Amino acid sequence: MSYIHEQPDWPTLKWDMEKLARPVADIRQQQGFLLGQMATLGFDARADASLETLTSDVIKSSAIEGEILDYEQVRSSIARKLGIDLGGITPVSRHVEGVVEMMLDATQNYRLPLTEDRLFRWHNALFPTKHSGLREISVGTWRSLDVGPMQVISGPFGREKVHFEAPSADRIDQEMKLFLNWFNEPNSIDPILKAGVAHLWFVTIHPFEDGNGRIARAIADLALARADGSQERFYSMSAQIDKERKEYYATLENAQKDNVEITPWLQWFISCLGRAIDNANHVMGNILHKARIWDFIRDHSTNERQRIVINRLLDNFNGKLTSSKYAKLAKCSQDTALRDIRQLLNYGILGQDPSGGRSTSYQLLDRKKDSFNGSMITTKG
């Protein structure tokens, strides 16, 4: 078996447009519907939706590589860079800042050309300490022959699966020149297809010692932002790839074999993108719920402590929150926490849980249905 980059007609990738035309048209329709729905929301709701999507994108792209990032750090870093007030400050590590900087440069500056220098800056941002784990790596430059053969693998340590081997390091400079010239030149290829082709092409070259998968997904996100014509992100391709990680690597591996015909890869990429857009509807439902809550809250005088806690309740808060936890979140005494809770009850922002129990429990009221959502506050006594 020979790899795709060893074929005589590489990198002239080929695909069957008869098989792809309808899926691309369907994706375009899905995109238009989602963007049309989001356009009906106010600025704050759209910013909130974009913040949640970007946070998911950053976290899940790293998760695909087995790296777990802290949700609050990622969200706080993105919000600060986009000028969104979250009502609190979360300390953020250099590494998280770097990953966020790369993703925001890709999506917020999607109109700018993709250059060698820009990719080097992304790589530097991903590895600010010039280490991948405990291993020192060359950062901000292409991998060298000293690194040896570059194998693309997945799976836990000790049970890794090799999917393919990338081109030799002495080919990278020329390979990347061809890739960047193709990516930056205006052509008739649909941006959806361009995102899929670019992802496969870049990850095949694997030009860096580490971080290639995350950078490949950032390049795809850049192309998808161009397809949407918007800096606002309302669906996460990385989050969907993370859900379908096994199929992702299997399809990627199959695309590396024997010839430069990549229709099956593009079919999978497009269908995965479609599922990502479908899942964005769930996110939008949550955003609409938050918007209704905040529209109601703005008619009442609430303090910063209450807004901080309400934000936490709206952001997938798990379990019940005691007055002690409220005090800890809001950095106040328990007496102050109880006064805040009673005021929220009087405003009708909170309602008492009818199920009762040994402790009195409260929930945020759904302003549309006048029913309860799943976030709860518990006070004792």
CA dist list (Å): 355 to 359, 363, 364, 381: 10, 11, 15, 17
The pLDDT tens digits of the residues spanning 38-49 come to 888 778 788 888
CATH code at position 208: 1.10.3290.10
Q: Is the pLDDT of residue 365 over 80?
A: no
| Residue 374 binned pLDDT confidence (cut-offs 50, 70, 90) | very low
Please give the share of the chain, as a percent, with pLDDT higher than 70: 91
Longest dimension (CA), the chain: 77
Give, in degrees to the nearest 5, the angle at Cα 210 between 254 and 228. Answer: 70
If asked whether residues 35 and 75 sit together in one domain, one would say yes
Q: What is the mean pLDDT of the chain?
A: 87
The pLDDT tens digits of the residues spanning 26-42 come to 999 999 988 888 888 77
If asked whether residues 191 and 319 sit together in one domain, one would say no
Q: Is residue 238 part of a domain?
A: yes
Q: Is residue 298 part of a domain?
A: no
Q: Give the predicted TM-score (pTM) of the model.
A: 0.79
Domain boundary among 254, 289, 324: 289
Contacts of 126 (CB under 8 A, 6+ apart): 98, 99, 102, 211, 214, 215
Determine the pLDDT at residue 149.
Answer: 82
Q: Is residue 295 part of a domain?
A: no
Give CA–CA dist 105/295, Å, rounded.
32
CATH code at position 308: 1.10.10.10
**11-15, 35-39, 191-195: least confidently modelled range:** 35-39
Q: Is residue 239 part of a domain?
A: yes
| Residue 371 binned pLDDT confidence (cut-offs 50, 70, 90) | very low
Q: Cβ atoms within 10 A of the Cβ of 129, count?
A: 11
If asked whether residues 146 and 170 sit together in one domain, one would say yes
Give, in degrees to the nearest 5, the angle at Cα 339 between 301 and 377. Answer: 95
Q: Residues 57-80: what's their mean pLDDT?
A: 93
Determine the pLDDT at residue 289.
Answer: 72
**Token pair belonging to 171:** 């080919």
If asked whether residues 142 and 255 sit together in one domain, one would say yes
The pLDDT tens digits of the residues spanning 145-161 come to 998 788 877 776 667 77
If asked whether residues 115 and 58 sit together in one domain, one would say yes
| Residue 357 binned pLDDT confidence (cut-offs 50, 70, 90) | low
Q: Is residue 268 part of a domain?
A: yes
Q: Residues 233-248: what's their mean pLDDT?
A: 94
If asked whether residues 179 and 30 sit together in one domain, one would say yes
If asked whether residues 271 and 366 sit together in one domain, one would say no
Q: What is the 3-state secondary structure (H, E, C) of the chain?
A: CCEHHHCCCCCCCECCHHHHHHHHHHHHHHHHHHHHHHHCCCHHHHHHHHHHHHHHHHHHHHHHCCCCCCHHHHHHHHHHHHCCCCCCCCCCCHHHHHHHHHHHHHHHCCCCCCCHHHHHHHHHHHCCCCEECCEECCCCCCCCHHHCCCEEEECCCCCCEEEEECCCHHHHHHHHHHHHHHHHCCCCCCHHHHHHHHHHHHHHHCCCCCCHHHHHHHHHHHHHHHHHCCCCCCCCHHHHHHHCHHHHHHHHHHHCECCCECHHHHHHHHHHHHHHHHHHHHHHHHHHHHHHHHHHHCCCCCCHHHHHHHHHHHCCCCCEECHHHHHHHHCCCHHHHHHHHHHHHHHCCEEECCCCCCCEEEEEEECCCCEEEEEEEEECC
If asked whether residues 93 and 220 sit together in one domain, one would say yes
Determine the pLDDT at residue 300.
Answer: 86
| Residue 223 binned pLDDT confidence (cut-offs 50, 70, 90) | very high
**18-22, 210-214, 299-303: least confidently modelled range:** 299-303
The pLDDT tens digits of the residues spanning 314-341 come to 876 777 777 878 888 889 998 999 999 8
| Residue 354 binned pLDDT confidence (cut-offs 50, 70, 90) | low
Give CA–CA dist 364/376, Å, rounded.
7
Residues 306 and 60: beta-carbon distance below 8 Å: no
Give CA–CA dist 317/315, Å, rounded.
6
**164-178, 232-246, 286-300: least confidently modelled range:** 286-300
Structural domain total, the chain: 2
Q: Is residue 297 part of a domain?
A: no
Q: Is the pLDDT of residue 203 over 60?
A: yes
56 burial level (CB within 10 Å; 0-12, 13-18, 19+): buried
**6-10, 110-114, 154-158, 267-271: least confidently modelled range:** 154-158
Residues 179 and 167: beta-carbon distance below 8 Å: no
If asked whether residues 284 and 358 sit together in one domain, one would say no
The pLDDT tens digits of the residues spanning 99-146 come to 999 999 999 999 999 999 999 999 999 999 999 888 899 999 999 999
If asked whether residues 313 and 335 sit together in one domain, one would say yes
- Its domain, for residue 350, covers 303-379
Nearest to 57, CA basis, from 91, 99, 89, 114:
99
Q: Is the pLDDT of residue 285 over 50?
A: yes
If asked whether residues 352 and 240 sit together in one domain, one would say no
Q: Is residue 296 part of a domain?
A: no
Q: Is the pLDDT of residue 370 over 50?
A: no
Determine the pLDDT at residue 282.
Answer: 73
Give CA–CA dist 103/215, Å, rounded.
9
If asked whether residues 311 and 352 sit together in one domain, one would say yes
Give CA–CA dist 52/50, Å, rounded.
5
